[in-house]
Amino acid sequence: MVLAALLMPASVLADDARLDAAIGKALFERPWVPAPSSTRANDGLGPLFDARSCSACHPAGGAGATALDAAGRPEALGLVLALFRTDGGGDPVYGHRLETMTLPGVPTEGSFTVTVDKGRRLPQIDSPGYGPLDPATHMSLRAAPDLRGRGKLELVDDAAILALQDPEDRDGDGVRGRARRFPTPEGGSTVGRFGWKASHPTLAGQASEAFALDLGLSTPLRPEPWGDCTEAQTACRNAPHGREGEGEPEISQAIVGRLVSYLRALKVPAGAGGAEGARLFAATGCAACHRPALQTRDGGTVALFTDVLLHDMGEGLADPSGVPGAAAAEWRTAPLAGISSMLERGTGLLHDGRAADVAEAVRWHGGEASGARARFETLGAADRARLIEYVSSL
């Protein structure tokens, strides 16, 4: 098979890639249904889930909605409640996520509301279906991020990312940054580059987690057919699943591969930019973490405005607790490419959607970003407006 692929004309290989991406787009937009159904190719949803399709939380591959209604409930899909413990595990009863939807006959886990206290978004569970959380379980909101162009990060070598680390702050700029690393079967390690906490080195890993937690669908990397159901959730574990045969996942490797092809094909959002805005962006220190471009292994660049390193962002943005590999206040530098469409749609910024605009997001920056925030605040009104306009146009 490998030799046959090498002998194929480049045009044929390109056509195959485009076809895989087109099929992946259809899979991204497909509404999944519960098993058993007359069409086994799209069943297996749940038993617990937060959406029926990928596009429900990532419309056109973009960021999900994070607005709250007057009662503090999410107005649309795009904001989820993560559950975690300091050892990286989920709640012993509820698992890694409070899924807000269930199949008939499966008890609901509940819903959540959000109160805002001095700008912070504080979640609470309403009518928990299985009783209170374990005392050691923490909660944190997560916004569905923009996926456009992010797949290009797979083209960046680990070495290029590792070269950006400065954990000892040798240059004295206050920005340290470190890569989150994961062991490989060969005995080495690879760099995490996807997710709010850089929790996945590959698109396939990120997609498989989304299938498991968001849709309740099993994959070769996450083979549990019941998704996030725990042993304490008996009805959930015993609900119908969409496997073709014993031990087979509901989502095959071929489906995962085509979805990944679609994500890789999504273009980097084009921003308006501007030379003066770019100069201010660098002068204030924003570019120390939000690096305008990273070099790819083929000699090109991917312009996402991130270094994909973990940075301590201070107490204001900290989770209630850390997990193995990422401290409570550590976050992967969020790519800024596409922020213009988020602002246009009213999608909140930061990991929980708390900031309505760029200036508000900057003012939440602390820790390693304290210097950049201070320089932003000391800019003259005209320069500050130019910088905000520049970032808002990306």
pLDDT by residue, tens only, the chain of 394 residues: 434 444 445 455 477 889 999 999 999 999 999 887 656 566 789 999 999 999 999 999 999 999 999 999 999 999 999 999 999 999 999 999 999 999 999 999 999 999 999 999 999 999 999 999 999 999 999 999 999 999 999 999 999 999 999 999 999 999 999 999 999 988 899 999 999 999 999 999 999 999 999 999 999 999 998 999 999 999 999 998 876 566 789 999 999 999 999 999 999 998 888 899 999 999 999 999 999 999 999 999 999 999 999 999 999 999 999 999 999 999 999 999 999 999 999 999 999 999 999 999 999 999 999 999 999 999 999 999 999 999 999 9
Q: Are residues 248 and 339 in the same domain?
A: no
Q: Are residues 295 and 358 in the same domain?
A: yes
Q: Are residues 354 and 271 in the same domain?
A: yes
**Structural domain contains residue 330:** yes
**Structural domain contains residue 326:** yes
- What three-state secondary structure class fits 95? strand
Using the 3D structure, point to which of 222, 240, 265 is the last residue of a domain: 265
- Strand 181-183 and strand 189-191: the pairing is antiparallel
* Residues 6+ away with beta carbon under 8 Å from 95: 48, 83, 228, 229, 230
Q: Are residues 25 and 60 in the same domain?
A: yes
Contact 354, 123 (CB under 8 A): no
Cβ count near 162 (within 10 Å): 14
CA distance 129 to 238: 17
Terminal Cα-to-Cα distance of the chain (whole angstroms): 42
Q: Are residues 293 and 281 in the same domain?
A: yes
DSSP string, 87-153: TS--BTTTBTB---EE-TTS----EEEEEEETTEEEEEEES-BTBSPPTT-EEEEEEPPP-TTGGGG
Q: What is the pTM of this model?
A: 0.93
Instruction: Identify the domain containing residue 313 by its residue range.
Output: 150-181+267-392
Number of domains in the chain: 2
Q: Are residues 125 and 222 in the same domain?
A: yes
CA distance 112 to 80: 9
Using the 3D structure, point to which of 211, 232, 265 is the last residue of a domain: 265
